[in-house]
Homo-oligomer: A and B are copies of this chain.
Amino acid sequence: MGRPPRIDRIAVLDAALALADEAGLGAVTMQAVAAELDVTPMALYRHIANKADLLDGMVERVLTEFPPPPEGLTWSERLSTMAHSIRRSAHRHPGVFPLLLQRPAATSQSLQIRDDVYRAYEEAGIPSDRVHQTERLVSSALLGFVVSEVAGRFQNHSPQVLDGDFERLLQLLARFIE
């Protein structure tokens, strides 16, 4: 006994994420992930509970990539910066990103970021009994657009058009807030 581990949870998740980024979620099978790591499929089960846990882990991995919001800007500059970060993350991980619509913010990383958003809304003067609702509505609009982009609903529109759409969306959401 006492055998040096050849892989760990992070390695499994990152291999799965790389696979999803290149070839879509459908390419993420236990066998394919294992092959990426030069290991048999059964070896993965020491590091992840099952396939659902693998997908959960991949989502968490994407969430930890979100940069924390920059300090020392106005609330509106911070929100805009964060929105662009989220969109870039979606474009990096088009296969996994739509899964964000399936679960509440849960990792400490994403709860932290949500709190930063709450703070920005308070600074913007949103009444405190409206702050949480506003966050749900704005995040819905943002995710709805960005997931439409990466999942295929906007596949007939050029990147230039979608860039323009996104800027306009941010303008309109900012108008909401004040």
User: Number of A interface residues, CB 8 Å?
Assistant: 32
- With a cutoff of 8 Å between Cβ atoms, the chain B residues found around residue A133 in the complex are 164-165, 168
Instruction: List residues 125-178 of chain A with CB under 8 A from any CB of chain B.
Output: 133, 136-137, 139-145, 147-148, 151-157, 164-165, 168-169, 172, 175-176
Interface string of A92-136 (1 = CB under 8 A from B): 000000101111100000000000000000000000000001001
In the complex, which of the residues A144, A147, A157, A175 has the most CB atoms of chain B within 10 Å of its own CB atom?
A144
Residue of B nearest to A104 (CB): B156
How near does chain B come to A114, taking the closest CB pair, in angstroms? 12
- With a cutoff of 8 Å between Cβ atoms, the chain B residues found around residue A165 in the complex are 133, 136-137
How near does chain B come to A26, taking the closest CB pair, in angstroms? 10
